[in-house]
Amino acid sequence: MLTYTFRRLLTAIPTLIFISLIIFLLLDMAPGDPTAQLPLTIPPEVREQIRQSLGLGEPVHIRYLLWLKQMVWSEPVYYLSQSVDWISAPDEARLISWQTRAPVMDTILERLPQTLMVVGLAYVVGVLIALPIGIISAYKQYSVFDQAGTFVSMIGFSIPPFFSGVLMIILFTVMMPNDSFWWFPSIYDTTLVIDSWENFGKQVRQMVLPVMVLALQTTAQISRFMRASMLDNLNQDYVRTARAKGMTESVVVLKHVLRNSMIPVVTVIALGIPAIFGGAIITEQIFKVNGIGQLLIVSIQASDVPMVQTLTFIFAILIVFFNLIADILYGILDPRIRYD
Amino acid sequence: MTDTSIDARNDAEARNQWWDVWDQFKTHKGAVMGACFFIFIVLAVYVGPWIWSIDPTYIDVRARNQGPTWAHPFGTDQLGRDMLARMMAGGQTSISVGLTAMGLALFLGTLVGVLAGYFKRIDGILMRLTDLFLALPLLPLLLVMVMLFRQPLSASFGPETGIFILIVIAIGITSWMPTARIVRGDVLALKEREFVLAARSIGTRPGKMILRHVLPNVMSPIMVSATLGIATAIITESALSFLGLGFPPDFPTWGRLLFDATDFMQQHPQRVMWPGLAISLTVLSVNYMGDGLRDALDPRIRGL
């Protein structure tokens, strides 16, 4: 298992390098010029110097290697040097955003908590709802509950987040009377500091709508998967054996069947995490959550190349990393899988 | 195909596999309803403009922000343009993008899948390529691609055709991977079958072999991924338009109409419903169709 993990880690490196190359080259064609916003009175030679200082004078391959070095070496070392004092900060300048002139990673780290809070919570909620639905649907196959579950997950698949989000806003913000308990704010207030129970309540309320939208998507997918996996196992011989031994139905289902059915579901849950970050771009846009998805959209519209490159690369790292996690988890959970 | 000769019915000769598939498809109620609805939507958006002949770009400022009336069954928008006409025009673009992008993705996926499955030498490299594409963050890359190539393509093909080509290609080259994987798996299994061996033993060339023997037998997974591909393509196009990075505002698509309507959500919530419902119901019907098709094409279930 350990050798397999190492081997997978090693193959992840060329994958990431290749993806970073694609991202870099694609964005290198961007039409935006970082000096276009500067006043016209700046003489051309000074303008050229500014371009040089932003690292634009070099040929493509040099710039790519410099960017890669900055991404995987300088920035991590910088953050290490901030936390431990026996590492000195690297000499290179930080990766600077063209739009805000602030270090790219600092902006991303500022935005990350909002995304993690909303998206992460939504994913947990979605999974927690999906698992029981999947189990009951499979146990009572073709019952009313199962049919309803199928229908609801079909709807969850079909209604894109940009419609379900807008629909939620209309239902719970526009149509609902303002003083009702069921009224929820449609705009996420990031400046809210949780220092009292009242503010905590506010925070919970403003998270309800985005979490609901994201959780609907997760629930639809995972509950279908859980159901299929449970159905595969419920017809197996070992279930009959367990029943024949006289075990109670709850032990048979929740202990024997559930444990075996969870193996593929856990990997699907792991695989879905990066996809949720991507899907959250739209949800963040609707509810004005200023997380990294919203940051990406704003940077794309302002053709802020370093920011977009870094964000896209982070998304790619997440995907590769969770693919790895899913594969390793599968090997650990299912002893029948032997990678070596 | 050959089993029909055992069939006692007289029409055994005229009957091919697809009639069996159709018979099975008809038993799936959701799928039939989905297919009917999809055909209805396609007819409504392509034939509808001949019956409902208001120009979707005609501005009638006096009639702006109207609710549903007989003159404008879906109401009008903030410039007084008729929403029904705009929905039809938008649907044409959305469904055309969906169908074309699905066709491109299917072509690429089938090409890669068949080549990887049939020719062992390029299998490794093609599948690594597929894995690489699966590891790409697709939505961010789509957004970036649209941002980068919008200007040059609009300049050379005109704003509407340019962005149409761009979005179709962008969606096509980012969604062929699942098809490629499924097709490759099926081709690998087919290659071991006796009829392929028989065909090879009489000297069939690889090109002929793929066209005559392999492709017809992998049609079922391709058709199922085609239906799912339409759904994802429509959703992706709407998402791009919704984020303001799709078609320009004068060319309505369902996503664009939804995006425009969200600004007036407080005053005119019904305007959000039409495009949203159209997208959701189309995708729902296509998904149900795919579900029924999958059951109908699975010979283990067929005939029950």
- B258 to A274: CB separation less than 8 angstroms, yes or no: no
Per-residue pLDDT at B18 exceeds 90 = no
* Residue B304 binned pLDDT confidence (cut-offs 50, 70, 90): very low
Measured distance CA(B127)–CA(A323) in Å, rounded: 16
How far, CA to CA in Å, does B67 sit from each of A104, B59, B86? 47, 16, 15
Mutating which of B94, B132, B136, B271 best tests the A interface, going by the most A Cβ atoms within 10 A? B136
Residue predicted with more confidence, B93 or A276:
B93
Q: Is B138 on the interface with A (CB under 8 A)?
A: yes
**Are B244 and A155 within 8 A, CB to CB?**
no
Residues B144, A166: C-beta atoms closer than 8 Å: no
Residue count of chain B: 304
How many percent of chain B have pLDDT more than 90? 20
Distance, in angstroms, between A201 CA and closest chain B CA?
25
Report whether pLDDT(B15) > 70: no
**Residue A158 pLDDT:** 86
pLDDT digits (tens, 9 = 90+) for A134-184: 999 998 888 899 889 888 888 888 888 889 888 888 888 888 888 888 888
The answer to whether B245 contacts chain A (CB < 8 Å) is yes
Q: Token pair for residue A95? A: 């990766």
Residue B4: the pLDDT is: 47
The per-residue pLDDT of chain B, averaged, comes to 84
- Give me the helix-helix angle, B120-134 and A2-28, nearest 10°: 70
Yes or no: say if B146 and B246 are a contact pair by the CB < 8 Å rule: yes
- Residue A110: band (very low, low, confident or very high) from pLDDT cuts 50, 70, 90: confident
CA distances from B221 to B95, B186, B224, B293 (A): 22, 8, 5, 10
Domain formed by A104-333, architecture: Orthogonal Bundle (1.10)
Band of residue A73 on the pLDDT scale cut at 50, 70, 90: confident
* Most B-contacting residue of A296, A300, A314, A319 (CB-CB within 10 A), to test interface: A300
Choice between B41 and A67, residue whose per-residue pLDDT is larger: B41
The tokens 């007084």 sit on which residue? Answer: B80
Mean pLDDT throughout A242-249? 91
- DSSP code for A217: H
End-to-end CA distance of chain B: 17
User: How do the domains of chain A map onto residue ranges?
Assistant: 2-83, 104-333
